Structure 1
Amino acid sequence: MKTLLTATALAAAALLAAPAALAQAWPDKPVKVVVGFAPGGAADQIARLVATPLGEALGHSVVVENRAGANGNVAGEAVAKAAPDGYTLLLSSGGMVSVNPHLYPRMAFDPTKDLVPVASAARVAVYLMARNGLEVNNIKDFMAYVKARPGKLSYGSPGNGSSPHLAGEMFKSQAGLYAVHVPYRGAAPALNDLLGNQIDYTFDPGIGLQHAKSGRLKLLAVGSSKRSPLFPDVPTLDEAGLKGFDADTVFGFYAPAGTPAAVITRLNTEINKILATPAVRERLVNLGGEALPLSPAEFGRRGMDDSKRFGAIIKERKITAD
């Protein structure tokens, strides 16, 4: 009996030690992060901001690869079908999990089952920006201007169902106005056309803030529940009369389902450490967001909450992926 108990204890100890040993052995080669949107956008910049220090922490390089398309589904599917060994990760806006299932009647993968949350990276607000030549200088005048010209103005977004698109539809719904939506393959192309006066306004996820600072664009309002520390004098849309307006989204890292828990724990720990560094926090603020370190479980719950919020506006506005 004593021998049996000893053997059982040793086996249990071995099982407990296995995850720790796995986490120490991984990685032994570069890790790839697939970004679901075009280069230059918020997702791409966040991925690259984290990738370099994450590679230093892991002892192997972290390579960023962009696979834009279908509001993040192209990248999501690629990662969902990758080997669950910790060497392929996804960096996406939360929309891929919380929005796309409401948009696409059929998806090649189930983001809630085929992917697992690893670590959130940032809460990203959207900023209502207008082209510089538009004859308005504040949000009240802007809403009146658009309302008086139904269908005459256009706004751009990174694509159907993206958080800036949903923000635009929330805005039209709550303000009682109509403008034409122009979808792009990423936030950067939409910004370029706004700067080129090809569209009239956009809900920018932060990459255009430098142009607002320089005066090339007009920053009229923040589509968040609170003002931006970068622009404390710019009101929120809630303050402008659109009560409860909140189009924030959370960008973060996901892995294929079945990825060892020890690897996910290691990644979450290292990414949260990176998010706590002053340089990264400052850079995220300059991008228009804020660091949001969460556990995998907390990150998963945030995605479910966002799914309810965005699902409601998708249903109301009859938004589709096309």
Structure 2
Amino acid sequence: MHRRPLLAALAAAATPLAARAQAGDFPARAVTMVVSFPPGGQGDVVARPVAAGLERLWKQPVPVVNRAGAAGEIGNASVARAAADGHTLLMGLSSMAVIPEAAKLLGRQPAYEMEQFAPIALFTADPTFLVVPAAAPWQTLEALLEDARRRPGAIPYSSSGNYGALHVPMAMLTTAAQVNLLHVPFQGGGPALTALLSGQVQLMASGPGPITPHLRSGAFRVLASWGATRIAGFEQVPTLMERGFPEAEYYIWAGIFAPAGTPAPLREALRQAMATVARDPDLQRALAAGGNALDYRDGAAFEEFLRADTARLVRAVQRIGKIE
């Protein structure tokens, strides 16, 4: 009579032990790191040195897979549905919190919800820059906005797709400044940057990593940033907030996520691995060379950051409204 409850109790007791054993053996094979955009964008720029650091630590391959499409929705959703065994991770960008809210605005079922992810570690959280070619006629933000008011819809900017990580900050600006710029969406930050380099568009929002080589070469210049304060190394660049747009605060962050069902011991093993990699001088040099500052957070600190930033982004999307 007592056999079935006894077996159930033994199985329940064995589950944490099995998870701890699995974490102790982890990883036994390659761990895939998904980037939901093409090569060359912020997610890719951060993912590759992190993956290289994990390979050195784990002695296992960590391939970076660029699974682009729908402003990041396709790649993000693929990780949300992946096996929760620690072997599929997402290098997520700030836009991942925007996409479900945008889907609801458009009247469709979101491909995923943020609750389907377990946040593991934040690596970068960079204020975004407003970038133009060096040959552009505007030397200041005010000159650009004045021109945009004279020529509504005539000045094109590129982005990583509707409601993507490079579109939301621009939409924040155009909404706050009440100007009409021509939005030209691409499949990711890499193609959006190529469009600016080739002259297809005249401005874009970008994190520092992808644009740093072009700032150093003199091909681009920065008119403003979406940070709360001026940025070290760019002290001459004003913030949009100080120029009269208090709601225009935006960060392109990049962090590691696992599927939400990943057992706690595995999540802790992943967190410890990320913390070790963050201390790796090779990783720090690689990020710095790409123009990214390490801003490492994990555990409660990352979760608190994520809650606050998600709330700010959801409010921004609701202000921007429906985009066909």
Instruction: Bin the TM-score by the shorter chain.
Output: 0.7 to 0.9
Q: How far apart are the structure 1 equivalents of 2:229 and 2:276?
A: 25
Q: How does 1:102-121 map to 2 (within 5 A)?
A: 102-105=101-104, 106-107=108-109, 109-121=111-123
Q: How far apart are the structure 2 equivalents of 1:113 and 1:312?
A: 18
Whether the 8 Å CA contact 1:52–1:62 is kept in 2: the answer is: yes
Q: How far apart are the structure 2 equivalents of 1:103 and 1:191?
A: 24
Q: How far apart are the structure 2 equivalents of 1:148 and 1:285?
A: 40
Query: Could you tell me how far 1:44 is from its partner in structure 2?
Result: 0.8
Structure 1 residues 258 and 16, CA gap change in structure 2 (3 angstroms): closer
Structure 1 residues 38 and 59, CA gap change in structure 2 (3 angstroms): same
1:261 pairs with 2:260 = no
Q: Which moved more, 1:286-295 or 1:118-127?
A: 286-295
1:271 pairs with 2:255 = no
Query: Could you tell me how far 1:128 is from its partner in structure 2?
Result: 0.4
Query: TM-score, normalised on structure 1?
Result: 0.88
Q: How far apart are the structure 2 equivalents of 1:289 and 1:226?
A: 17
1:195 corresponding residue in structure 2:
197
Query: Could you tell me how far 1:166 is from its partner in structure 2?
Result: 1.0
Q: How does 1:37-52 map to 2 (within 5 A)?
A: 37-52=37-52
1:3 corresponding residue in structure 2:
none
Query: TM-score, normalised on structure 2?
Result: 0.87
Q: Which amino acid aligns with 1:266?
A: A
1:81 corresponding residue in structure 2:
81
SS at match of 1:208: helix
Q: Which amino acid aligns with 1:79?
A: V
Aligned match of 1:247 in 220, 245, 250? 250
Whether the 8 Å CA contact 1:122–1:284 is kept in 2: the answer is: no
Q: How many residues align?
A: 311
Q: Which moved more, 1:293-302 or 1:41-50?
A: 293-302
Query: Could you tell me how far 1:57 is from its partner in structure 2?
Result: 1.1
Whether the 8 Å CA contact 1:77–1:108 is kept in 2: the answer is: no
Whether the 8 Å CA contact 1:187–1:205 is kept in 2: the answer is: no
Instruction: List runs of 5+ in structure 1 lacking aligned partners.
Output: 1-10
Structure 1 residues 16 and 314, CA gap change in structure 2 (3 angstroms): closer
Structure 1 residues 175 and 123, CA gap change in structure 2 (3 angstroms): same
2:144 corresponding residue in structure 1:
142
SS at match of 2:314: helix
Q: Which moved more, 1:271-280 or 1:54-63?
A: 271-280
CA RMSD of aligned residues (A): 2.4
Query: Could you tell me how far 1:210 is from its partner in structure 2?
Result: 1.7
Instruction: List runs of 5+ in structure 2 lacking aligned partners.
Output: 1-10
Whether the 8 Å CA contact 2:207–2:252 is kept in 1: the answer is: no
Query: Could you tell me how far 1:279 is from its partner in structure 2?
Result: 4.2
Q: How far apart are the structure 2 equivalents of 1:279 and 1:296?
A: 23
Q: How does 1:279-298 map to 2 (within 5 A)?
A: 279-298=282-301
Q: How far apart are the structure 1 equivalents of 2:313 and 2:223?
A: 23
1:71 corresponding residue in structure 2:
71
Query: Could you tell me how far 1:144 is from its partner in structure 2?
Result: 2.1
1:233 pairs with 2:233 = no
SS at match of 1:311: helix
SS at match of 1:122: strand
Query: Cα deviation per residue 1:47-85 (whole Å; 9 max; x = unaligned)?
Result: 111001111212211111110012222112211222111
Q: Which amino acid aligns with 1:295?
A: D
